[in-house]
Amino acid sequence: MLRLRSSVDAERAAPFADLLRGVDGVRRVVRQPDEASADAIVFAADVEPAAADRLVEEIAALGIPVDDYVLTKVDVVAPLRRHHAGEIEGFAWVEVLGQARVNSRPLARYLALISVAAVLAALGVIESSSILIIGAMAVSPDLLPICATCVGLVAGRRRLAQRSFMTLTLGLALVVVVAAVLSALLKAGGFLPDGFTVEDSTLSNLATTDYSTVLIALVAGIAAMLSFETRTSAAVGVAISVTTMPASAYLGVALGAGGSEEALGALVVLAINVALLILSGSLTLLLQRWLPNRSRAPI
């Protein structure tokens, strides 16, 4: 369920009230004076997710500035039942688009987390440690720009898609650079055996492609998009990063510690995985936009 709060001037209070009453899925409208401004009226209303997109369009058509209203998400505790005009937990495109904008830029925290993940993944490749690889996948935030890219493509927002994809590319390139530098330093410092190459790792399958590579990337893209919409990306991030972090780190170790022939294979795996993640994530989002918002059975 979403909650709308808005403060509009007295002249537009009547048409704004009519707008809220006219949009199906907007309920429990409250109107009261704005104590901070004598010429303004505050409105509050519950908005079902399926009605959010139309409501935002109608508010913009009425000429209400974006600074005069806010739409927030609230958790419904009770009653968990179907509403006659939609579902309590529906699909709100405006919410997904907002999340995509936030996660389309290479923020400092994003770069810091992906650098930490790169160190863990590189050591995992060098030490042939699956535990370190899993730890790297848990830390990596690459799911967010992947999903933001899908949203930009489906919404037809070219700048959003480009910005998100560049953020993803920057993050994965940073993984390769960090892994390459770390492995080169370890080799120069004598911490790696003489003649060590990335082929010595038992994780050499990270540089090969087969049918499972394609299937894993496709289903991971679906899970990524669904988790992004429901804000459970932290829990699903490990499953998504299995297609990106290991291959990126393997590529970096191959460049830094030796094994240039294996580097090309890892690069191909990484490119295929990213392309399929974006493809399946975009198709998932398209399907949700095309299908009607159906109610779930009562719990």
Report, as an integer, the average pLDDT of 84-108: 72
231: amino acid identity, one letter:
R
**Whole-number pLDDT of residue 83:** 45
Mean pLDDT score across all residues of the chain: 85
Chain-centre distance of CA 268, in angstroms?
23
pLDDT grade for 96, boundaries at 50, 70 and 90: confident
SS3 at position 173? helix
What is the number of other CB atoms lying within 10 angstroms of the CB of residue 287?
Answer: 11
Report, as an integer, the average pLDDT of 261-274: 88
Q: What is the pLDDT of residues 274-292, one digit of tens each?
A: 999 999 999 999 888 777 5
Q: In this model, does residue 265 exceed pLDDT 90?
A: no
pLDDT grade for 297, boundaries at 50, 70 and 90: very low
SS3 at position 84? coil
Q: Is 166 exposed, middle or buried (0-12, 13-18, 19+ CB in 10 A)?
A: middle
Is the pTM higher than 0.75? The answer reads: yes
Q: What is the pLDDT of residues 170-195, one digit of tens each?
A: 999 999 999 999 999 999 998 988 77
Alpha carbons 93 and 215: distance in angstroms, whole number:
27
Give the sheet arrangement for strand 2-9, strand by strand: 26-33, 40-47, 2-9, 69-73
**Whole-number pLDDT of residue 86:** 41
Question: Which of 76-80, 137-141, 174-178, 213-217 is the most confident on average?
Answer: 174-178
Alpha carbons 284 and 282: distance in angstroms, whole number:
5
Alpha carbons 91 and 43: distance in angstroms, whole number:
24
**Whole-number pLDDT of residue 116:** 96
Helix (H) / strand (E) containing 47: strand 40-47
Q: What is the pLDDT of residues 225-244, one digit of tens each?
A: 888 877 665 556 556 677 78
Question: Which of 41-55, 95-109, 151-165, 204-218 is the most confident on average?
Answer: 151-165
Residue-by-residue DSSP string for 266-287? HHHHHHHHHHHHHHHHHHHHHH
Alpha carbons 119 and 246: distance in angstroms, whole number:
11
Q: Which domains does the chain have, with CATH numbers?
A: 2-90 (3.30.70.120), 95-290 (1.20.1080)
Query: For residue 121, which of 108, 111, 109, 131 has the smallest C-alpha distance?
Result: 131
SS3 at position 93? helix
